[in-house]
Amino acid sequence: MIRRTASLVAVAAALLTAPAFAADHATPEQAKSLVAEAVAYLKAKGPDEATKAFQDPKGSFRRGELYVFVFDTDGRYVASGANPKLAGSNAADLKDAEGKPIVQAMITETKDKPTAVIDYVWLNRQTNKVEHKHSYVTRDGRYIVGAGTYDQ
């Protein structure tokens, strides 16, 4: 019994000292699923209601490091789960940390096909570090809905 208790204590200690972000690290499948749910919600509720839901920090569209963002096809922020203050601002010329025009890439890549993956370098708000990000975006009418994951 003493040996078993010692093993359980060692396992518990290992779990408590493991990096906290590992459990919350999003997968590409989770990001794709979140985008699909967000597109369905946008279609069902319209842009005003969807924007409120996407920007709710405690809502169902915020999952660990995953959040929904929406641009219109002119490059204007419709919603940002990471920073709601961005809604309504012009992001057409927004560039990543390496100078890549990411919103233009999202607009261009979804022009002829409804979905795309855009790779860029962005601030991970959970680690507060600039990291490689892969955003899964879907165009629905005049809206580009996305969510992204960071390299593990």
- Statement: residue 13 has pLDDT above 70: no
Q: Is residue 22 part of a domain?
A: no
Q: Are 118 and 135 in contact (CB under 8 A)?
A: yes
Q: Is residue 125 part of a domain?
A: yes
**Lowest mean pLDDT, pick from 13-27, 32-46, 77-91:** 13-27
- Statement: residue 69 has pLDDT above 50: yes
Looking up residue 77, the CATH number of its domain turns out to be: 3.30.450.20
Q: Is residue 82 part of a domain?
A: yes
Q: Is residue 15 part of a domain?
A: no
Q: Is residue 19 part of a domain?
A: no
Domain count, the chain: 1
Over residues 122-129, mean pLDDT: 87
Q: Is residue 53 part of a domain?
A: yes
Domain housing 105: 28-150
Q: Are 140 and 47 in contact (CB under 8 A)?
A: no
Q: Is residue 79 part of a domain?
A: yes
Q: Is residue 17 part of a domain?
A: no
